Structure 1
Amino acid sequence: MFFSDVTLWLDKQGKTWPDLGIDYEAVIDELLNAQVPQLYLALTRRPTPSGGVAQSLARGWPPYVQGLIDSGVLKTR
Structure 2
Amino acid sequence: MSGLYRALQRHAHESPVIFYSLVIGFAGPALVFTVPPIRKSMGWKPAERIPATYPIPNRPRRPTTGFEDP
Greater Rg over alpha carbons, structure: 2
Larger RCO: 1 or 2 (CA < 8 Å, sep 6+): 1
Normalising by structure 2, we get a TM-score of: 0.29
Give the TM-score of the pair, scaled to structure 1: 0.27
